[in-house]
Homo-oligomer: A and B are copies of this chain.
Amino acid sequence: MPQKNGRTSRRDIYQKLRQMVLTLELAPGAALSENELAASLGVSRTPVRESLILLAQEGLVQVFPKIGSFVSRVDPAQVADAQFLREAVELASLHALPEHLDPAIVGDLRVNLDRQKRADLDLEEFFELDEAFHQNLMRLSGHGNVWTTVAAAKGHLDRARRLGLHENASPAAFAAQHHEIFEAIVGGDVPLAHTAMRTHLRAVFSDIERIRAHSPELFAADASTVPVRRNVVVWE
Binding site for B on A (CB under 8 A): 1-6, 8, 50, 53-54, 57, 64-67, 77-78, 81, 84-85, 87-89, 91-93, 96, 143, 145-146, 149, 153, 224-226
Considering the chains assembled together, what is the distance between the CA atoms of A87 and B84 in angstroms? Answer: 14
Q: Are the C-beta atoms of A2 and B226 separated by less than 8 Å?
A: yes
Considering the chains assembled together, what is the distance between the CA atoms of A6 and B226 in angstroms? Answer: 14
Contact of A92 among B3, B92, B143 (CB under 8 A): B92
Could you tell me the distance in whole angstroms from the C-beta of A234 to the nearest C-beta in chain B?
20
Considering the chains assembled together, what is the distance between the CA atoms of A226 and B3 in angstroms? Answer: 7
> Could you jot down 5 A-B contacts, CB within 8 Å?
A2-B226, A4-B67, A81-B145, A85-B89, A88-B89
Q: A6-B66, A53-B50, A53-B53 are in contact. Are A143 and B84 (CB under 8 A)?
A: yes
Contact of A91 among B54, B85, B92 (CB under 8 A): B92
Could you tell me the distance in whole angstroms from the C-beta of A70 to the nearest C-beta in chain B?
13
Contact of A224 among B3, B6, B8 (CB under 8 A): B3
Could you tell me the distance in whole angstroms from the C-beta of A94 to the nearest C-beta in chain B?
11
Q: Are the C-beta atoms of A96 and B67 separated by less than 8 Å?
A: no
Q: Are the C-beta atoms of A153 and B145 separated by less than 8 Å?
A: no
Q: Which residues of B contact A224 (CB under 8 A)?
A: 1-3
Q: Are the C-beta atoms of A92 and B96 separated by less than 8 Å?
A: no
Q: Which residues of B contact A2 (CB under 8 A)?
A: 224-226
Q: Are the C-beta atoms of A65 and B5 separated by less than 8 Å?
A: yes
Q: Which residues of B contact A143 (CB under 8 A)?
A: 81, 84
Could you tell me the distance in whole angstroms from the C-beta of A1 to the nearest C-beta in chain B?
5
